[in-house]
Amino acid sequence: MVNNKRIPFLIFIAAVILFSSCKSKADLEYSKATIINHSVHTKEQQQALTPDEVLKQFKEGNERFRNSDFTIRKHSDTIRKAATGGQYPEAMVLSCLDSRVPVEDVFDQGIGDVFVGRVAGNFVNTDLLGSMEFACKVAGAKLIIVMGHQHCGAIKGAIDDVKLGNITAMLQNIKPAVLMSQNYEGEKSSKNEAFVKLVARNNVRNTLTEIRAKSEILRTMEENGEIKIVGAFYVLQTGELQFFD
């Protein structure tokens, strides 16, 4: 017969054994993490990179992200203090406002690695074009990525012609992509995910066109091979970035 006083102890032991044998998938994935002492880029390191090399690094970073091959960066006071003296990021990413698209995580980047501009619908205006020109011409970034994504609320709002405060004017920036997609043969509504995806991808293409048309600085830099300007579409379910040709 088991001593009644020992029952709580035996329950505790059983719970420990059960917990240790039932590691979640997340725990197993976390064990794949790579811990590094992240160093902030120097100007020399940034200038030595080519646009193609930066694009390759960012694609590899996304592969690590979607495979849960995490990079854990030790963001110590040393790193933060090192970053205060200047910044030499490799790239500029224009992303949607969407909280499900964490830009630095999606590319597995750290402090000082990337400029990020965010606006619902990842379109460009004067402010964002000026930010891109600063990132590339002044601060030396070698790559611009325009990143749209799946299930985008701004895209759905533009398709549905939403009228609400300042959102109405904002969505006008996305309307060209809706017009570009009118040859679609299926249902042209925000309830049709295939149509939403088509408009989102065309919105990225339109943004790329706008950058080249409205920024002589960036267009010239791209023509001279100093930078690359590329588009990508982020798939929420998988974390994959599909880069455009």
Which 8-state DSSP code applies to residue 40? P
Please report, for the domain that includes residue 202, its CATH number: 3.40.1050.10
Inside any domain, residue 201: yes
Inside any domain, residue 13: no
Q: How far apart are CA 62 and CA 67, in angstroms?
A: 8
Chunked into runs of 10 residues, the chain (245 residues) has average pLDDT values of 56 52 48 58 82 97 90 66 76 97 94 94 98 98 98 98 98 98 96 98 98 98 98 96 92
Q: Which domain holds residue 216?
A: 41-243
Cα separation of the two ends of the chain: 74
What's the pLDDT score for residue 48? 82
Residue with tokens 């980047």: 109
The total domain count for the chain is: 1
DSSP β-ladder status, 228-234 and 241-243 = antiparallel
What is the crossing angle of helices 193-214 and 216-223, to 10°? Answer: 90
What's the pLDDT score for residue 22? 47
Inside any domain, residue 6: no
Inside any domain, residue 14: no
Inside any domain, residue 20: no
Inside any domain, residue 23: no
Inside any domain, residue 29: no
What's the pLDDT score for residue 87? 83
What's the pLDDT score for residue 10? 52
Inside any domain, residue 33: no
